Amino acid sequence: MRTIEIFDTTLRDGEQSPGVNISTNEKVEIALQLEKLGVTRIEAGFAAASPGDQKSVAEVARRVKNSTIVSLARSVKSDMDAAYEALRHAQNACLHVFLATSPIHRQHKLRMSKEQVVEKAVEAVKYAKKYFSEVQFSAEDAARTEIDFLAEVVEAVIKAGATTVNLPDTVGYMTPQQYGDIFREMRKRVPGVEGIRLSCHCHDDLGMAVANSLAAVEAGATQVEGTINGIGERAGNAALEEVALALETRKDFYQATTKLQLKEIARTSQLVSRLTGMIVPGNKAVVGANAFAHESGIHQDGVLKEVTTYEIIRPESVGFKSNKLVLGKHSGRHAFKEKLVELGYHLEQEEVDTAFAAFKELCDKKKEISDDDILALVDAKMVRGAEMYRLESVQLSYGNLSVPTASVRLVRADGEVCEEAACGNGSVDSIYKAIDRATGEEVTLTDYKILSVTQGQDALGEVFVRLQQGELTVTGRGVSTDVLEASAIAYVRAINKILERRGEVLVGATN
Ligand code: KIV
Ligand code: ZN
C-alpha cells in the first residue's frame, strides 16, 4: 500500500476563488485545522503578492509545527526573497517556484523560447535551494506542454535540486486517461524521477479534477494537491476530501491511502466554508448536507435493514456527528472549555471568556444548544484582532405598509459613540444605510447570504456579506438568534476589515 502525500492549497489557490478574501487570523485558524487533519504540506499563500500575504504566510509558518509550510513564488529573485522572509521561522518550510512551460504560455504570456524557459527554471530552483532544502517546481500548464519538452524541463529541474516536481492541469482541460499518461511518461523517460515527489494539481473546469488526480495517482504521482471543498480559481481545484475518501474507500483498487485523519474532514470543511463564505452545496460528495441522507422509501428500508445496501461511507468516519444536545443554561465555564477543546479549538483565555459570554447570552435565547451552534457562535464571536467599530444596538421600525427605518449605535475603538438612522427598501437595507452613515464609509454590498445553523424556530441565523470598496473586497459574518442583528454584525465586521486593510485600525482596539 503506497502512502500519498496531501498538499493543501486552500489558503493560496483556494483564496483565488472569485470574491474570497481571508484575513491573517482566519488563515491561521484554517492552517491549524489542516495540521490537525494531517496534511503534509500547507501552501499558506503567495508571499510576494502583497504585504498582507507575506504577513499571513509568516504567521502560519510561526504557528504550525507539524505540517511543512509552503509559499508560492514566481521564478524571479524578488518573489523568492519574499517567500524566504515569510518562511524563515517555519519549523519545516518549502519554497514553491513555478514557470509556465506550454507553447501557449511560452508564446503569448512569457514570450520566451524553450531554451530560455529551461534556463530560467533551473536558475530559479538553484536560487531557491540557497534558502531551503525542500524546493518544489511547478511547470504551469504542464498538461498542455509537449511531452518531450516537459520531460526535458523535469529532468533539468531535478538536476538543479528540486525535491518535488508538480505537473498541473492549470486550465482543467485533461481527461483522466491523458493526464495519467503524462505521469507514466515522466516515470518512463526522466532519470532521477524516482528520487523526488511527483505531484499532481488539477483544476475542475470540466468537472474532472478529482478523477484526473486519481488517474495521476494510478500512474505514479506521489503527492496530490487540492483544496478543501474544492474551492479555487474559476471552477475550483480538486476537492481533497473527495480524493482522500476515494483512496480510502477504494484502497482495494488504488492500493494507496493518505495519512489524513478522516474524522477531521467535516470540521475542516465547515470551517473553510464559514471563513470563506463559500457554501457547500447539499449534494456535494463527502461533505454536503445530503451526502448521507436517504430520502426514498426503498433506500430507507434498505439502510435500516443493512446500512451497506446504500451507504459506502459512514458519516461518522468523516466526523459528522448527530446533532445532539451538548450544553445548556446550567453548564459552567469548565464544561464549556472542555467542549471547545473537544470541538478542536485552541483558544487563549481571553477568547474563551468572550466565547463563554456569548454562549451564556445564547442560553437565554435558545433552549437547546448543539455542537453546530457552538461552532457557529465561536467562529463568529472570536476575537480576531483589532476592530474599529462595535455594534452596540440596532433598532428597527417595520410595517408591510410603511418604509422601514433603522437606527444603529456603534462604538468606536477610541470610545466615541456613532449613532445614525436611515430609511431603506427593506429592513436589512435600512440597517445597512444607517451603518454607512455612522461609519462614513461608501461600500457596495455584492453578496448577502443567510443560513440557519440548526433546525427549529429558535435556530441561530448566520449571515454572510461581501462588500466592495474600490479594489478592496472583504467578507463579514454574523451569528445571532435574530437574523437582523446577525445582518448588522456581519456588515460592521466587513467594514472593520476594510478599515484594517487601509491600515486605519486604532491601536489597542479589540472587537
Ligand atoms: O494551476 C496552477 O498551475 C497553479 C500553479 C501556480 C501551481 O496553481
Ligand atoms: Zn492551480
466-499 confidence digits (pLDDT tens):
999 998 888 888 888 899 999 999 999 999 989 9
- pLDDT of 360 > 80? The answer is yes
Say how far residue 255 (Cα) sits from the centre of its chain.
Answer: 29
Cell of 400: 408591510
- What integer pLDDT is reported at residue 383 of this predicted model? 46
Nearest CA owner, ligand 1 atom 1 = 170
Atom of ligand 1 at shortest range from CA of 96: 7
Ligand (nearest to CA of 140): 1
Least confident of 92-96, 213-217, 364-368: 364-368
Average pLDDT over residues 59-68: 98
The alpha carbon of 407 and the centre of ligand 2 are apart by a number of angstroms equal to: 45
Pocket of ligand 1 contains residue 168 by CB under 6 Å: yes
- What integer pLDDT is reported at residue 511 of this predicted model? 29
- pLDDT of 382 > 70? The answer is no
* 324 — pLDDT class (breaks 50, 70, 90): low
Atom of ligand 1 at shortest range from CA of 171: 1
Q: How far apart are CA 15 and CA 483, in angstroms?
A: 27
Q: What is the dihedral of CA 314, 336, 391, 33, to 10 degrees?
A: -40
Pocket of ligand 1 contains residue 140 by CB under 6 Å: yes
Atom of ligand 1 at shortest range from CA of 142: 3
The alpha carbon of 363 and the centre of ligand 1 are apart by a number of angstroms equal to: 47
Q: What is the pTM of this model?
A: 0.85
The alpha carbon of 236 and the centre of ligand 2 are apart by a number of angstroms equal to: 8
Query: 256 or 300, which is more confident?
Result: 256
- pLDDT of 509 > 60? The answer is no
Q: How far apart are CA 26 and CA 273, in angstroms?
A: 12
Pocket of ligand 1 contains residue 8 by CB under 6 Å: no
Pocket of ligand 1 contains residue 201 by CB under 6 Å: yes
- pLDDT of 247 > 90? The answer is yes
> Cα dist. 18→50, 273, 275, 445 in Å?
17, 14, 14, 15
Average pLDDT over residues 416-424: 97
The alpha carbon of 132 and the centre of ligand 2 are apart by a number of angstroms equal to: 22
The alpha carbon of 138 and the centre of ligand 1 are apart by a number of angstroms equal to: 7
Average pLDDT over residues 60-74: 98
334 is in an annotated binding site: no
Nearest CA owner, ligand 1 atom 5 = 140
| DSSP output for 328-384 | -TT--HHHHHHHHHHTT----HHHHHHHHHHHHHHHHH-S-EEHHHHHHHHHHHS--
Check: CB of residue 250 under 8 Å from CB of residue 225.
Answer: no
Nearest CA owner, ligand 1 atom 8 = 13
Pocket of ligand 1 contains residue 138 by CB under 6 Å: yes
- pLDDT of 384 > 60? The answer is no
- Pocket probe for ligand 1: among 15, 17, 98, the residue whose CB has the most ligand atoms within 8 Å is 98
- What integer pLDDT is reported at residue 505 of this predicted model? 58
Check: CB of residue 73 under 8 Å from CB of residue 132.
Answer: no
Query: 292 or 426, which is more confident?
Result: 426
What is the share, in percent, of the chain residues with pLDDT greater than 70?
96
Pocket of ligand 1 contains residue 98 by CB under 6 Å: yes
Q: How far apart are CA 431 and CA 488, in angstroms?
A: 7
Q: How far apart are CA 208 and CA 205, in angstroms?
A: 7
Least confident of 2-16, 213-227, 279-293: 279-293
Check: CB of residue 255 under 8 Å from CB of residue 1.
Answer: yes
- What integer pLDDT is reported at residue 159 of this predicted model? 98
- pLDDT of 209 > 90? The answer is yes
Pocket of ligand 1 contains residue 15 by CB under 6 Å: no
Cell of 341: 477543546
Amino acid residing at 224: V
201 is in an annotated binding site: yes
**pLDDT tens-digit readout, 94-130:** 999 999 999 999 999 999 999 999 999 999 999 999 9
The alpha carbon of 198 and the centre of ligand 1 are apart by a number of angstroms equal to: 14
Query: 157 or 340, which is more confident?
Result: 157
Atom of ligand 1 at shortest range from CA of 168: 3
Q: How far apart are CA 265 and CA 387, in angstroms?
A: 31
Q: Can you name the residues that pair with 224 across neighbouring β-strands? A: 6, 200
- What integer pLDDT is reported at residue 500 of this predicted model? 84
Pocket of ligand 1 contains residue 71 by CB under 6 Å: no
> Cα dist. 79→84, 314, 420 in Å?
9, 44, 46
- pLDDT of 508 > 80? The answer is no
User: How many other C-beta atoms are found inside a 10 Å radius of the C-beta of residue 188?
Assistant: 10
Burial 468-488 (b: 16+ CB within 10 A, else e): bbeeebbbbbbbbbebbbbbb
96 is in an annotated binding site: no
- Pocket probe for ligand 1: among 97, 138, 157, 171, the residue whose CB has the most ligand atoms within 8 Å is 138
Q: How far apart are CA 498 and CA 338, in angstroms?
A: 35
The 389-397 sheet, strands edge to edge: 389-397, 405-412, 417-423
Check: CB of residue 439 under 8 Å from CB of residue 451.
Answer: no
Least confident of 77-81, 278-282, 291-295, 432-436: 291-295
**pLDDT tens-digit readout, 422-451:** 999 999 999 999 999 999 999 999 999 998
Task: Give me the chain's average pLDDT, please.
Answer: 92
Q: How far apart are CA 347 and CA 338, in angstroms?
A: 11
- What integer pLDDT is reported at residue 366 of this predicted model? 78
Residue pointed to by grid coordinates 491600515: 503
Pocket of ligand 1 contains residue 226 by CB under 6 Å: no
- pLDDT of 311 > 90? The answer is no
Provide the 3-class DSSP secondary structure of residue 390.
strand
Interstrand relation of 2-8 and 256-258 (parallel, antiparallel or unpaired): parallel
**pLDDT tens-digit readout, 149-208:** 999 999 999 999 999 999 999 999 999 999 999 999 999 999 999 999 999 999 999 999
229 is in an annotated binding site: no
- pLDDT of 385 > 70? The answer is no
Pocket of ligand 1 contains residue 237 by CB under 6 Å: no
